[in-house]
Amino acid sequence: MKHILAAACIDPAPVFEGAFDLAEEFGAHVVGLGGSWPRQNILSWNENAGSVFVEGAHLLEHEEEVRNRGARKSFLAIASERGIPFRPLRGQAGPSAEWRSVEVPDEGSIGSFGRAFDLVIVERPSDIASFAQARLDGAILRSGRPVLMIPYEPKRRIGTRVVIVWRGSISCSRSVAMAMPLLTKADVIQVFSTKARALGTCVELERTLAAHASSITVRYLSEPDELNGPAVMAEARAIDADLIVAGAYCRGQILDLFGRSPTRSLMRSAEIPILFAH
């Protein structure tokens, strides 16, 4: 894990703190992403619609510029405080940082931009209908890379105590494989599943993880429907976990606009970082 992309919309500090925590752990290069993002058009159903539209567009451009400046300032300050040098990635040892501003056609385009990185880090959306949610979904569905969603400022190294949400799906398998650099360094790993969901694969998963990590346990729930966001977070709190690993949108790429899918439920309930893969 040597090349990390970090992007944030509203609250950049937790994302950048988490990115630099991992950079220091793995000697990685962190690219903070800024630039032009899509804006909503403001329309009014009256004879002054044209002037209202123009005024609204200018206001949103100003807000976007302010957010970008704030994100860049936060990125530079956190890197400087930690003594992380700013330089391009050229195979050097130790953590490093770089800020880039790019123009993308929509929030989901972070997925295509993130395909060249080892890890993409974004913030937890505060609302389903938001740019942050569109950015998170785009990163998960379009990048083909692991996506770390951070809801708060990490207080210790991410990945010391890990909960794996196991449904026996392809996306769950990918999430575990992509999280392996973190899992191999974990002190405790608990696989959280149901016998109906796991289809007998939990035993093999436990054996695979035991070959890479130290302390592995498996806990089954009685009902498949109990493997939701609140239940997973309760399990994470019980072992004082600092990372959850989960597959995302296991049933396809049709997103639940009302937030009732297991993936959306987990996103809404998140209190600690979650590493997703699709």
Walk along the chain (278 residues) and give the pLDDT tens digit of each residue. 999 999 987 789 999 999 999 999 999 999 999 765 555 444 444 444 544 444 455 555 666 778 788 889 999 999 999 999 998 887 777 899 999 887 765 666 788 889 999 999 999 988 776 778 888 998 999 999 999 999 977 667 899 999 999 988 899 999 999 999 999 999 999 999 987 767 678 889 999 999 988 789 988 877 666 678 999 999 999 999 999 999 998 765 455 555 568 898 899 999 999 999 99
Sequence ranges of the chain with CATH classification 3.40.50.620: 3-150, 161-273
Q: What percent of the chain has pLDDT over 90?
A: 50
The domain defined by 161-273 carries CATH number 3.30.360.10: no
Angle, CA 78 vertex, CA 73 and CA 81 arms, to 5°: 120
Q: Which candidate, 100, 222, 241, places its Cα nearest to that of 179? A: 241
Task: Measure the N-to-C terminal CA separation of the chain; round to a whole number of Å.
Answer: 18
Q: What is the dihedral of CA 148, 153, 156, 160, to 10 degrees?
A: -30
Please give the CATH superfamily to which domain 3-150 belongs. HUPs (3.40.50.620)
Q: What is the pLDDT of residue 220?
A: 85
Distances (CA, A) of 13 to 10, 79, 150, 200: 9, 11, 10, 41
Strand 147-150 versus strand 274-277 pairing type: antiparallel
Q: Compute how many other C-beta atoms are within 10 angstroms of the C-beta atom of residue 175.
A: 26
d(CA 6, CA 30): 7
